[in-house]
Structure 1
Amino acid sequence: MENRRPPELAAPLNLKFLSDNLQKLLEESLGINSVGQLLNYFPRTYLAAGELTALTDVPLDEEVTLIARVQSANSRRMRTRKGKLLDVVITDDDAGRLGTMHLTFFNSYAAERQLTAGTRAIFSGRTGSYRGELTLTNPRFSLLDEGEGGVDEHLRPVPVYPATEQISSQMIRGCVSQLLDSLAHSQLNDPVPAHIARRDRLMNITQAYEMIHRPAEVEDAYRAQHRFRYQEALVLQTALARRRAEVRSEEATSRPHCAGGLRDQFDAALPFTLTAGQQAIGKQLAADLAAAHPMNRLLQGEVGSGKTLVALRAMLQVIDSGGQAALLAPTEVLAAQHYQSITRTLGPLAEGGMLGGAADGTRVVLLTGSMSTAQRREALLSAASGDAGIVIGTHALLSENVQFFDLGLIVVDEQHRFGVEQRDALRTKAVAAPHMLVMTATPIPRTVAMTVFGDLDVSTLAELPAGRAPISTHVVGLSENPRWIDRAWARAREEIDAGRQVYVVCPKIGDSQLEADTSDALELYEGPPANRQELTSVAELVESLREVPALADVTLGVLHGRLDPQEKAATMAGFSNGSVSLLVSTTVIEVGVDVPNATLMVIIDADRFGISQLHQLRGRIGRGGHPGTCLLVTQLEPEHPSRERLDAVASTSDGFELSQKDLELRREGNILGSSQSGGRSALRFLKVIQHAAVIEKARSDAQELIDADPALTDHPELAEALDLYLNEEKEAFLERG
């Protein structure tokens, strides 16, 4: 027999046994055009061939695949046009709650001939409704009792694939089955190294593909899934380990601590003592900056945990060694807040060369898109000449005409707001590879940090600085009692009369449902169309609040991403100095806005925000030693699934506990995104909550492999898998840190 070379998974899907039409459907409907992509288009579930699908559980207006028995089939001539109409009633044989469904076929002689009473078959199509009953019109079908693989063929589990209207689950199953037949005597390249497969007793990849697509029993599919789960984890962790190795191999300018420099002067002038966490992470950053390879660290911590202070000390260490630091913020409001906070905190140290400034001080400049030409020119000159040690800005920092004298450190605040391209655009402005510190106030569970941010060293600020007051959170369900909103506004007046201030947050700016405040990066939970209530806007709420008796004579402010920058700055200044008592805003205040006197937040349509966003918003209050209160206002009924998110936020202020709950409620399966489009990604079975042990093992294995063989020269199959599974979209997701 000819000794054939094992087929590459990346080989084009130009197979003789698949018709041109089928190959075209696979590519156009599912994006499948290679052997590996078809093999990695896994079933989403399995039907027990010996059992009928419970028809009472079938959803409306969805593509479904089900097994049922034909109860009756009646054909009749159509009155209004030529041809026959076949009405088939199928049943699930459930004696207790006999489920039936009507199927309608137009001019289908095959259906009339084959779908006789008593026949068991698989039916696929989009469910509809007629006179209050579920229906399928012209569904695709295949008989179960006429298996081609032997007498027991009809007892095998039936794989169900994510289908489209153009290509059914049965068609996909047929294509995969023919491909597997063609590979029956081949041994596919296996990404899992042989010594690991032997250690963990993993089945080989050819056997795994056979069992996951054509299991003799459903337990076979589970065993194959276990094997692919580890493979997914290994591929992912190897990609991250390789990226960590690449970063360590780059040369960076060492930025060691300089005794008596700006950082030491800053520490000496601090009116408080750093927390133990701030001191420990400060030592980590100091050591990272002193190394000859780039720091690549994620700093996470609760809102108000002091991340910016830790980052500022790192910036001063870089300045002491002759370099510059850039702080990238997602919004102009946050950039301006950082500028004001840092210049205020540094005092004379930020007034280098100015009257009254420290003799060896530096300069801090702000660069945003809305600055005047003269302001922008001055900021650009300060950055390019090196006069500015710290340059703070928004996306404007990424412009081609922005140059640095010696960019040594990049700090990215709220890293999830920026893509890898934006981060890299800033990196290219440095002579040598700059050090990188990315910060997030969205707590990340450990398993997620190991996967999504596995190429970064992770530091966590767990403790809050002294003086932070507790925040109590309550769900205000207007479906239970519409008058509770009046009590919320009365509560706001009580805080204002006590000399405090109030935030009111809305999910949109104006009247248009499609109007999105892009600068706020708001992600709304849509929910089913029938339950989708009209969102409250800033514009309409401000008008209605002016008519609320409890808020008579209260000074209202408005803030959102579409305001003129000067107007935004004036509003924030008014809220900061207390001349504005109640601020109606979008989520533009989600991060970085620091008004210690604000003690109450009312979030309207709170069910339309995610858990982490609600937690971030809530962190804006209780920052000045006074207890805070957050009211989550919703019109949803108590039993609505989205109320569970609100109850979770109200139950705890622990961000890490909430991030874990968020993962559970989202039922996150594919950690690199929820789509299973049949594209290049096969990351399907790894779940960050349940599979921490698998991730840990794969991370350790991947690190050993990369340490011994950075280019994966001895493991070409694994190197190929990285290219096959991790497409550009997934890579960008991995690098979003």
Structure 2
Amino acid sequence: MTQFNVNLQSPIEYLKGVGQQKAELLKKELGIFTFNDLLNHYPFRYVDRTKFYKIREINADLPSVQIIGRIIAKELLGEKQGRRLVAQLRDETGTMELVWFQGIRWADKMLQPGSVFIVFGKPTEFNGRYSISHPELELYNPASRKQGNLTLQPVYSSTEKLKQSFLDTKGLQRLQYSLLEIAANIVVENLPGYLLEKHKLLRKTEAIQQIHFPLNPESLERARRRLKFEELFFIQLKLLRNKLLRTGKYKGLVFQQVGDYFNTFYSEKLPFDLTDAQKRVLKEIRQDTQKGVQMNRLVQGDVGSGKTVVALMTMLLAVDNGYQACMMAPTEILARQHYESIKSMLGEGFITIALLTGSTPKKERRKLHETLQDGSLHILVGTHALIVDEVQFKNLGLAVIDEQHRFGVEQRAKLWRKNTVPPHVLVMTATPIPRTLAMTLYGDLDVSVIDELPKGRKPIKTLHLFESQRLRMFGFMRQEIAKGRQVYIVYPLIQESEKLDLLYLEAGIEAVAREFPLPDYRISIVHGKMKAADKDFEMQRFVKGETQIMVATTVIEVGVNVPNASVMIIENAERFGLSQLHQLRGRVGRGAEQSYCILMSGNKLSREGKVRLQTMVRTNDGFEISETDLQLRGPGNIEGTQQSGVLDLKLADLATDQHLLHEARQEVIQIFEEDPDLSNEKNRLLREYFIQTSAGISWNKIS
């Protein structure tokens, strides 16, 4: 392959120094198939080679040292497994040893007495003498750019198999050098000149050079800033273009009136006064549904903030305007809870509402399909069962999706197709999402936040107790049960795990049964391996107050609403993520009584475990908790982000690059306001980007 037809999509085997065998390894081990993949395999850290130590300056606490010295002697010592090569390295301040237990033949050949080397490695001390085992070696040649005068040396992630084929950090550095020699000819600038100038960004080719082999820390910082901006900018460009396409392409149903259903419910049936936050969100929804554009709104609200009431009132608004509404939840438990909750708020004979899940009997299902198609069924609540082809609405005007991160994009899209004009979509989540993550995951949605709890709710008190305080925990449980309250105890596992030393559910049940014996106490048991009917039976016993204690795994994280339950005990709390701890805590505090969450843990806690438990004790604010969670775990591990498909970030960090994300988003908003179809010459590169990445998109739909 000549240099003239080489480009970023060229197969990696064509790069000098790779070949077929190494190419197969790079594909398998690192997912590197093309030149572009290799360029985007950025260093994960850099070794600062600007400092050279003298031998007398070394101490064993240093993580690594770099020394220039002369080999003055070498000898082979020991036999068989104990065989080793020891070389003496000297500078003007002293002498130290370099030791090899492996690769002895290679080292022996390289280490010619009198040769001067740059030596790099971790120093250790034994009997007052310093040594480095298996150091990195480079013949000292200050004139060569490729050797020891690199100021910041890139370190690349590799694997054992790659290292065996000499594709360790050094090997990958050599490949990057080969590629960067032709980079100027194949790397194409993808950001318009006016953006580079306005934000003082490096050109793409220079940024790629400096991210791999930076001249100094300042150059590295500028390269990182350019490449992070680019990542965040193109995510926002895609998201906001999708929003523009949707609002241009899909005409929305118009909900012109607030009618009898909405008004009667608001004035006569609403069980409590709406909070200001709920009123604000309803107003935003009302405005959306009058525009003649399809609504796509995300409602974020902490556990117990009253999202269901907002969803119900929006559904009544749809019914008032002659449309049907549906509400889809990820689990049967949660769907049933929504159904029961809505039914009790509406009362009998007010409106027709039905529940559809996988376990709905055939006879009931047939009748339900008929009433859906003739329009006499107003609201349908259900699980994934709603999106099957047989479910046909007469006139679907609103789809409410709860805990939407549990549904795939295709599943949600199936609801759109249930009506000729796509219905308005209201997405709800009780998993508070940090602002940066919301802008990235849901950048194409309008976001509302319910940031107030209903009046009369008392904040949950959270305590952290160690295993040694278990008797205190049992005593507290007895006090609360004596007041007529109920208690949850949640365990992370069902059966004993050899790998994790956790209190597991089965042993937990035995311990609780000993402390709380029949007939004075009754216990419900719920876990994921039970049959749906058994699980439901146990849940219902607890809901009706027939049992005082529910011992469970995390299946109760969502979908259980028992106002009388006032204590949540989480065993091995240090093993749960912050988001999950917050969700579990939200199972209590649903009544007027003071509620408690007790986090039980072992005595030894990791730094992260400690931060998580301290955060839970300190605050009930889901958004503050989600920010801490983002910083601890990174965006890729926050619930629901893996399937979003937009978080393939190689450099940008949503926890620390909030300012850059905001900058990129504002820039994209401004570009689309001025030039919605990117027809201006100054935006040619952006238009080309979409032509390359979105073959078949008709741009005239958004102009």
Normalising by the smaller structure, the TM-score range is 0.7 to 0.9
Alignment of 1:425 onto 2:392: no
Cα distance in 2 for residues equivalent to 1:627 and 1:336: 27
In the TM superposition, 1:67-216 aligns within 5 A as 74-75=75-76, 79=80, 85-87=83-85, 103-106=100-103, 108-109=105-106, 112-114=109-111, 119-121=117-119, 141=136, 143=138, 145-146=140-141, 149-150=144-145, 154-165=149-160, 166=162, 167-184=167-184, 186=185, 188-216=187-215
Cα distance in 2 for residues equivalent to 1:724 and 1:90: 58
Instruction: Give the aligned residue type for 1:189.
Output: V
Distance verdict in 2 for CA 1:549–1:323, change over 3 Å: closer
In the TM superposition, 1:309-328 aligns within 5 A as 309-328=309-328
Distance verdict in 2 for CA 1:150–1:626, change over 3 Å: closer
Q: Partner of 1:25 in structure 2?
A: 25
Q: Is the 8 A contact 1:669 1:687 kept in 2?
A: no
Work out which of the residue numbers 458, 470, 477 in structure 2 matches 1:485: 470
Q: Is the 8 A contact 1:333 1:588 kept in 2?
A: no
Q: 1:608-656 CA distances to partner (integer Å, 9 max, x unpaired)?
A: 1111111111111121110111100011425653122111101111112
Cα distance in 2 for residues equivalent to 1:672 and 1:574: 30
Q: Is the 8 A contact 1:469 1:622 kept in 2?
A: yes
Cα distance in 2 for residues equivalent to 1:268 and 1:697: 45
Question: Secondary structure of the equivalent of 1:439?
Answer: strand
In the TM superposition, 1:102-501 aligns within 5 A as 103-106=100-103, 108-109=105-106, 112-114=109-111, 119-121=117-119, 141=136, 143=138, 145-146=140-141, 149-150=144-145, 154-165=149-160, 166=162, 167-184=167-184, 186=185, 188-269=187-268, 270-348=270-348, 357-358=349-350, 361=351, 363-478=352-467, 482=468, 484-501=469-486
Q: Is the 8 A contact 2:271 2:345 kept in 1?
A: no
Instruction: Give the aligned residue type for 1:341.
Output: S
Number of residue pairs matched?
666
Q: Is the 8 A contact 2:488 2:569 kept in 1?
A: yes
Q: 1:537-572 CA distances to partner (integer Å, 9 max, x unpaired)?
A: 333322221111588721111122333333222222
Cα distance in 2 for residues equivalent to 1:674 and 1:250: 27
Distance verdict in 2 for CA 1:463–1:109, change over 3 Å: closer
Cα distance in 2 for residues equivalent to 1:725 and 1:673: 24
Q: Is the 8 A contact 1:328 1:397 kept in 2?
A: yes
Work out which of the residue numbers 619, 630, 637 in structure 2 matches 1:652: 619
Work out which of the residue numbers 515, 537, 551 in structure 2 matches 1:584: 551
Deviates more, 1:143-152 or 1:656-665: 143-152
Cα distance in 1 for residues equivalent to 2:210 and 2:83: 40
Question: Secondary structure of the equivalent of 1:615?
Answer: helix
Instruction: Give the aligned residue type for 2:157.
Output: P
Length-normalised TM-score, structure 2 = 0.85
Q: Is the 8 A contact 2:405 2:639 kept in 1?
A: no
Distance verdict in 2 for CA 1:665–1:245, change over 3 Å: same
Distance verdict in 2 for CA 1:142–1:437, change over 3 Å: farther
Q: Is the 8 A contact 1:105 1:111 kept in 2?
A: no
Question: Secondary structure of the equivalent of 1:290?
Answer: coil
In the TM superposition, 1:521-536 aligns within 5 A as 533-536=500-503
In the TM superposition, 1:717-736 aligns within 5 A as 717-718=685-686
Q: How many angstroms does 1:251 deviate by?
A: 2.0
Segments of 5+ residues of structure 1 without an aligned counterpart are: 60-64, 125-134, 349-356, 514-531, 727-737
Cα distance in 2 for residues equivalent to 1:19 and 1:639: 42
In the TM superposition, 1:663-674 aligns within 5 A as 663-666=630-633
Distance verdict in 2 for CA 1:149–1:705, change over 3 Å: farther
Q: 1:429-449 CA distances to partner (integer Å, 9 max, x unpaired)?
A: 333222211111122222222
Q: Partner of 1:510 in structure 2?
A: 495
Cα distance in 1 for residues equivalent to 2:258 and 2:278: 19
Alignment of 1:544 onto 2:533: no
Q: Partner of 1:613 in structure 2?
A: 580
Distance verdict in 2 for CA 1:596–1:718, change over 3 Å: same
Q: How many angstroms does 1:48 deviate by?
A: 1.7
Deviates more, 1:32-41 or 1:611-620: 32-41
Q: Which gives a bigger RCO, structure 1 or 2 (Cα 8 Å, sep 6+)?
A: 1
Q: How many angstroms does 1:86 deviate by?
A: 4.2
Q: 1:98-152 CA distances to partner (integer Å, 9 max, x unpaired)?
A: 999954224633554248797334679xxxxxxxxxx999x79551624673598
Instruction: Give the aligned residue type for 2:554.
Output: T
In the TM superposition, 1:683-698 aligns within 5 A as 683-698=649-664
Q: How many angstroms does 1:700 deviate by?
A: 1.2
Q: How many angstroms does 1:300 deviate by?
A: 0.5
Segments of 5+ residues of structure 2 without an aligned counterpart are: 123-130, 695-703
Q: How many angstroms does 1:585 deviate by?
A: 1.5
- RMSD across aligned C-alpha pairs, in angstroms? 3.8
Q: Is the 8 A contact 1:325 1:391 kept in 2?
A: yes
Distance verdict in 2 for CA 1:723–1:228, change over 3 Å: farther
Instruction: Give the aligned residue type for 1:544.
Output: A
Q: How many angstroms does 1:276 deviate by?
A: 1.4
Q: Is the 8 A contact 1:86 1:106 kept in 2?
A: no
Instruction: Give the aligned residue type for 1:347.
Output: G
Q: How many angstroms does 1:600 deviate by?
A: 0.8
Cα distance in 1 for residues equivalent to 2:415 and 2:406: 15
Q: How many angstroms does 1:710 deviate by?
A: 4.0
Higher helix share: 2
Q: 1:496-538 CA distances to partner (integer Å, 9 max, x unpaired)?
A: 110111111111233467xxxxxxxxxxxxxxxxxx6423333
Q: How many angstroms does 1:669 deviate by?
A: 8.8
Q: How many angstroms does 1:268 deviate by?
A: 2.0
Instruction: Give the aligned residue type for 1:476.
Output: L
> Sequence identity, in percent?
35
Distance verdict in 2 for CA 1:333–1:254, change over 3 Å: same
Deviates more, 1:708-717 or 1:695-704: 708-717
Question: Secondary structure of the equivalent of 1:183?
Answer: helix
Q: How many angstroms does 1:5 deviate by?
A: 8.8
Cα distance in 2 for residues equivalent to 1:115 and 1:387: 92
Q: Is the 8 A contact 2:253 2:423 kept in 1?
A: no
Distance verdict in 2 for CA 1:668–1:366, change over 3 Å: closer
Cα distance in 2 for residues equivalent to 1:246 and 1:261: 35
Question: Secondary structure of the equivalent of 2:310?
Answer: helix
Cα distance in 1 for residues equivalent to 2:570 and 2:430: 19
Q: Is the 8 A contact 2:258 2:320 kept in 1?
A: no
Q: 1:714-736 CA distances to partner (integer Å, 9 max, x unpaired)?
A: 5454456579999xxxxxxxxxx
Q: Partner of 2:672 in structure 1?
A: 706
